Each structure stands twice: as C-alpha cells, then as structure tokens.
Chain A
Amino acid sequence: DAKTTQPNSMESNEEEPVHLPCNHSTISGTDYIHWYRQLPSQGPEYVIHGLTSNVNNRMASLAIAEDRKSSTLILHRATLRDAAVYYCILRRGLPSGNTPLVFGKGTRLSVIA
C-alpha cells in the first residue's frame, strides 16, 4: 500500500478553520484518499473520501492536489468536539472490495476554546 505522511499534531482555536495536510507521493491511479477520525476511546468514524476532484460534505471538505500527491482535509469551523486523531488513508479501488484500511499514525488535533 502507498504510504501517507501527516504531521504528528496540530492545534486550532475554536470556531476557526483547520487545514490538515497529508502527503502521499507514491499514490497510484486507482488509490482513493480516505479520511477517518478517532475520538478518544472510540472507534474511527468516516469523514470524507475522494479520488481526483475536491469533495465537500457536511463534516468537511477534501482538497486534492492536481498531481494527487497530497491532499488537505478542511474543517471549516473547528469545535471542541472535533478534537481527535485524523487519519489519511489510501485505499486501492479493487473490484473485490475487501481490502482493509491500513492506518498510519495520523494527526492529533487539539482545539482550544
């Protein structure tokens, strides 16, 4: 699996936007970019995913570089409930569909009131 690189930690003030970067320079053409987050003592939850185009949903936006070697997860207004570890994961889009998600170390986001 192609590897992702994320900063270990980031800090944000409440109500401000947060940009979480992810580098994936060895991404292949069929790799989807997934973002999950894990709140303390909980299982991961889906945030967003994309392939080539930028994506928006009610939780966040995903900006994907034109060469796909990096992406940025954007939380438009951070709240205290957004404090979590954010994982950027590449998943190959195979038809069989049973490949697991492989987690890296992620970015621990702290939100300051």
Chain B
Amino acid sequence: GAVVSQHPSWVICKSGTSVKIECRSLDFQATTMFWYRQFPKQSLMLMATSNEGSKATYEQGVEKDKFLINHASLTLSTLTVTSAHPEDSSFYICSARGKGPGPNYGYTFGSGTRLTVV
C-alpha cells in the first residue's frame, strides 16, 4: 500500500533557529501534500495544501513566511519552521495524495514530527 515517510520523528531546537521536516511518498507519486499541526489534546489543524511545482496554499492564520513549504518533486515535500519559538512546539503531520481511480483515492499520513523549541 501507499507509504509516507516523515522525518525526523522528533526534534529539539533552540529558539530562533530553523527546522526542516521532510515528507516523502515512497511508493507513489504525491500530486498533493497537506501539512497539519496538532497541539496536545487537540485535533489536527490544516496548515497548508501544496501541489507539486506550485506554491502552497495556506490556511487563514498560518504565516507563510514562517512556515515555508516546498513541494519540488512528486515524492518530496518539506516544511521549514523558520525562527522557531516555543509556541511553535507541536506535532506536525504531513499527508500525501496521489493520482488514482477517482475522488476516493486515499490520503496517506506520515508518522508525524514532534517539534520542541527551547
């Protein structure tokens, strides 16, 4: 089945530094990737949608200059948290969707990245 690999699984960084999270589709071409973040005890909140080769579309309230999304190939999308601050500490999850037989083609999620900013 479809597999999405997300790295790193956890990262601790100092306040003010940048962190890059990678999301790779291992056995299919991901035409669309979605990035979510999840705070403790809360649900997943959509941050942005990216289509291969296009600029990402960000949800309202998500700073595009702070959360840089690159989807340069059909198998790789990256999320860079720039100038991270403690309030950016969260669980970040990617989801990939490929071409398929129709609108029901599956959404496959990565295992998530726990970011802690100290």
Residue contact A106 to B43, C-beta cutoff 8 Å? yes
Q: B104 contacts the other chain (Cβ, under 8 Å)? A: yes
B106, A46: Cβ atoms closer than 8 Å: yes
* Contact count band on B: 20 to 34
Asked whether A97 lies within 8 Å of B109 as measured between CB atoms, the reply is no
A41 to B112, CA, bound (A): 8
Taking a contact as CB atoms under 8 Å apart, the answer to whether B43 and A105 are in contact is: yes
Contact partner of A42 (CB less than 8 A), chosen from B31, B51, B102, B111, is B111
Answer whether residue B95 sits at the interface, using C-beta atoms and an 8 A cutoff.
yes
Interface membership of chain B positions 39-66, coded 1 if the CB is closer than 8 angstroms to chain A and 0 otherwise: 0000111100101000000000000000
Residues in B whose Cβ lies below 8 Å from that of A106: 43
Instruction: Answer whether residue A104 sits at the interface, using C-beta atoms and an 8 A cutoff.
Output: yes
CA distance A37 to B109 in the complex (A): 11
The interface residues of chain B lying within 8 Å CB-to-CB of A44 are: 44, 93, 95, 109
How many A residues face the partner with a CB closer than 8 A?
A: 24
Q: Is the interface of B mostly helix, strand, loop or mixed?
A: strand
Task: Tell me if A's interface is mostly helix, strand, loop or mixed.
Answer: loop
A43: B residues at CB distance < 8 A:
4, 6, 93-95, 109-112
Choose among A38, A49, A97 the residue with the greatest number of B CB atoms under 10 Å from its CB: A97
Chain B contact residues, CB within 8 Å of chain A: 4, 6, 31-32, 34, 36, 43-46, 49, 51, 91, 93-95, 97, 100, 102-112, 114
Known: A43-B112, A93-B102. 16 other contacts (CB 8 A): A32-B104, A41-B91, A43-B6, A43-B109, A43-B110, A46-B108, A91-B103, A93-B104, A97-B102, A98-B49, A98-B51, A100-B34, A100-B46, A100-B49, A100-B95, A101-B95
